[in-house]
Structure 1
Amino acid sequence: MPKSTKIRVLEVAVLVETDYSWGRSVVQGIADYSSKFGPWNLLTDPRDYSRRWSLPDRWRGDGIIARISTPLQLEEISETGLPTVNVDDVYPELPGMGQIRTNEAERAKMALSHFQGRGLKHFAYYAPPSNEYSKECEKAFVAELNEQNLTCHVYKPGYRVTRRIGRDEQHTRVHRWLSHLPRPVAIFTVDARRGRELTEICSMEGISVPDEVAILAAETDELICGLSTPPLSSVLVASQRIGYEAAAMLDAMLKGESPPAQPRLISPTCVIGKQSTDALAIDDVMITKAMRFIQAHAYKGIVVEDVLREVPVSRRFLELQFKKYFGRLPAEEIRRLRLERGKELLSQSDLSVEAIADACGYAGTTQFGVAFRKRFGQTPLAFRKQMHGR
């Protein structure tokens, strides 16, 4: 009898923090790939006594997937000489390493569209100096605004990343910045933690969220967004897919392939709208009433005629005013809300496509599938598989 060949289990270090939803989802994507194409032995989020991650001295690995955010991390990983894939953009150029990250241009477009769909015309970006994140999200949001000849009021407190300031001083600086912003203003924050920080400061200073300040976080963290008062809107980043694609890229590198010359960009999924952006910055009472009706009933299969029964205006007037304030027609807004909800449920739940179609107000899976493919260029099932890295 021929001898069975023993398959060597590869040792892969996953240097991604799991303190927040983003990191946990990335690690889940890596684990999914490993279970299908491994097996890999994953060294997950190893940390030393000071809570900084570091590779154990006795670890003998084959490859690394990491969120590289400091010079020391970059130096330590480079010294190993192991094939490495980076899942962050603090260092946008890392020759010899693979890179997978969120498509910032797409995230900026998504955020701006969400704000403009509420009639907001003043915009700001909030990210205190920190080594935890890059400026790529800010740059993309400012660039998207500039494309439309709009201004972005960026928070610039005037101190360096290395300086530590107390909670009270931070509160004072942010309040001073907020007091000089035009109202109502839409603020895009670098992550959910900073978004919640803004809601807390606004609450203490008597600033109404979302009527005076609408806040949208660039990343979703279910716990933080839910604990925020009011609950925080956020961009749902395809972090599980980022992890899966990072593992696939590392696997190819372990088999001798060179890392791609350019980073692989993964588009975010959708905006999860909650009360922190539930504002309508328009002065037309009838159009406000119409939009509120659409937001409340879009998933019940309504059509424009149902909206017209709610507000005593002509269809032509309604369409002209929607185009003026929101940049799209009432029918387009109904479809947009339904399909965005469909994307969210496909990526965040295990509901069947049939159940999701019903939850979004469609008569059946065929109608839902046709509308979904027309808007996003793929079927609902293909989108779900993509989001889960299958």
Structure 2
Amino acid sequence: MSILGRNQLRQIAVLVETDNSWGRNVVQGVADYARKFAQWNLLIDPRDQSQGWSLPDRWHGDGIIARVSTPLHLDEIARSGLPAVNVDNVFENQEGVGQVTTDEHSLAAMALAHFRERGFVHFAYFAPPSHEYSKKGAQAFFAAVTAEEHDCHIYRPGYRGGRRISRDEEHNRIHRWLSHLPKPVAVLAVDARRGRQLAEICSLERISVPDEVAILAGDTDEFLCNLSSPPLSSIEVASQRIGHEAAMLLDRMMHGEAAPSDPLRIQPVRVLARQSTDVLSIDDPMIVQALRFIQTHAFRGISVDDVLREVPVSRRYLELQFKKRIGRLPAEEIRRLRLERGRDLLTQSDLSVEAIAAACGYAGATQFGVAFRKHFGNTPLAFRRQLLRTS
């Protein structure tokens, strides 16, 4: 039964490619919503001979959820006359089409924070020209980096998306770009496939990853990230939730609600740190020692005084260097690590809030809850309930 109490079986086309983790998770989110709240029959990932999706002639449906990446997709949706929700951001603010997509600004801030806590001051963004994704990711990362008064080097090879170039030519263009980047440099790649491509070229050209070039993929594909050498750090985007929210929005639209004028932007979940960013790009051994101590002992209830007993520097020097190199004070770094561990345990375990608070180094659930809400804008229990609604 749908959320609006109707029982009829509806035909829904899910025009999202399922040959990568992101697409499969989006489809899974749609399927989970349909199973729990609606009577839907799903048409999954129909493709024509060109491997682009298209609606079969004999299909007569009630709604569409699609990753819209070309004008042809928009034309097909318009011709269908059906309520539709877009789960990508290549085309935004299309009249009559709902949209649920990743919040690119939150993703950029998460990536930058991951790099900054490792001491990087040089940054770059890698996304070869393509119609598969928009330029909004590059724009958001550039804005985040330059807001902190650092330079951000965008890969611009001088040709447009859709142009076919040889593998060797593409390799040479990327290598030239890498050669001119200041080192060490932290690179955010638009997705796992491009991150792995960058790691392969670094390996062939004997550029050390992560010591010279640290690579973070802008989404997570477990197969590609773990297959890469070294394994790729990646951002876990909430793709299953995107599918769930898209299905919920489509359900409302099929029952007469107008498409929202603004996209629903879903925050990414977390950074999955692997070897490709496992480095501290800091030339002060005392600060490196302090960071390693915090990373090792943050969950044991340590304070800045414990750090100062480990590292023979003054509090003022420690705070100035932390602020300069990672953008946070030592106390803020301890708190950040504790709260991110708390968020991960809320996501991945059934532990009580009290047990999670203890595992993160807090004196009790109340202290943990106050800090969690201040940092994430939600209580631990509310955060977990939100996860359960979309799982």
TM-score by length of structure 1 reads 0.92
Q: After superposition, give the CA deviation of every residue in 1:319-368 in whole Å (9 maximum; x if it has no partner).
A: 23212222212121111112223323433x24334454454344554443
What residue is the counterpart of 1:229 in the other structure?
A: 229
What residue is the counterpart of 2:20 in the other structure?
A: 20
Q: After superposition, give the CA deviation of every residue in 1:134-186 in whole Å (9 maximum; x if it has no partner).
A: 11111111122232333211111112222212222221111110000011111
Is the 1:217–1:233 Cα contact (8 Å) retained in structure 2? yes
Identity in percent: 65
What residue is the counterpart of 1:80 in the other structure?
A: 80
Root mean square deviation, CA, Å: 2.1
* Shift of residue 49, structure 1, vs aligned partner: 4.4
Q: After superposition, give the CA deviation of every residue in 1:235-281 in whole Å (9 maximum; x if it has no partner).
A: 22121221111111111111111101111111222222222122222
**C-alpha separation between the residues in 2 aligned to 1:303 and 1:6?**
57
**C-alpha separation between the residues in 2 aligned to 1:338 and 1:356?**
10
**C-alpha separation between the residues in 2 aligned to 1:77 and 1:262?**
19
What residue is the counterpart of 2:245 in the other structure?
A: 245
* Partner secondary structure for residue 47 of structure 1: coil
What residue is the counterpart of 1:283 in the other structure?
A: 283
Is the 1:125–1:138 Cα contact (8 Å) retained in structure 2? yes
Map 1:364-379 onto structure 2 (within 5 A): 364-379=364-379
* Shift of residue 379, structure 1, vs aligned partner: 1.6
Q: After superposition, give the CA deviation of every residue in 1:212-248 in whole Å (9 maximum; x if it has no partner).
A: 1111111122222222222212222121221111111
**C-alpha separation between the residues in 2 aligned to 1:57 and 1:359?**
56
Map 1:179-328 onto structure 2 (within 5 A): 179-328=179-328
Amino acid corresponding to residue 199 of structure 1 in structure 2: A
* Partner secondary structure for residue 251 of structure 2: helix
Is the 1:125–1:188 Cα contact (8 Å) retained in structure 2? yes
What residue is the counterpart of 1:383 in the other structure?
A: 383
**C-alpha separation between the residues in 2 aligned to 1:343 and 1:310?**
28
Amino acid corresponding to residue 281 of structure 1 in structure 2: S
**C-alpha separation between the residues in 2 aligned to 1:36 and 1:251?**
13
Provide closer, same or farther for how the CA distance between residues 164 and 357 of structure 1 changes in structure 2, counting only shifts above 3 A. Answer: farther
Answer yes or no: is 1:9 the counterpart of 2:9: yes
What residue is the counterpart of 1:178 in the other structure?
A: 178
* Shift of residue 303, structure 1, vs aligned partner: 3.1
Provide closer, same or farther for how the CA distance between residues 219 and 120 of structure 1 changes in structure 2, counting only shifts above 3 A. Answer: same
Amino acid corresponding to residue 245 of structure 2 in structure 1: E
What residue is the counterpart of 1:352 in the other structure?
A: 351
Q: How many residues align?
A: 385
Amino acid corresponding to residue 344 of structure 2 in structure 1: E
Segment drifting more, 14-23 vs 247-256: 14-23
**C-alpha separation between the residues in 1 aligned to 2:119 and 2:203?**
23
* Partner secondary structure for residue 271 of structure 1: strand
**C-alpha separation between the residues in 1 aligned to 2:148 and 2:14?**
40
* Shift of residue 6, structure 1, vs aligned partner: 9.0
Is the 1:241–1:388 Cα contact (8 Å) retained in structure 2? no
Is the 2:18–2:24 Cα contact (8 Å) retained in structure 1? yes
* Partner secondary structure for residue 134 of structure 1: coil
Amino acid corresponding to residue 142 of structure 1 in structure 2: F
**C-alpha separation between the residues in 2 aligned to 1:134 and 1:107?**
14
Task: Flag structure 1 segments of 5+ consecutive residues without an equivalent.
Answer: none
Task: Flag structure 2 segments of 5+ consecutive residues without an equivalent.
Answer: none
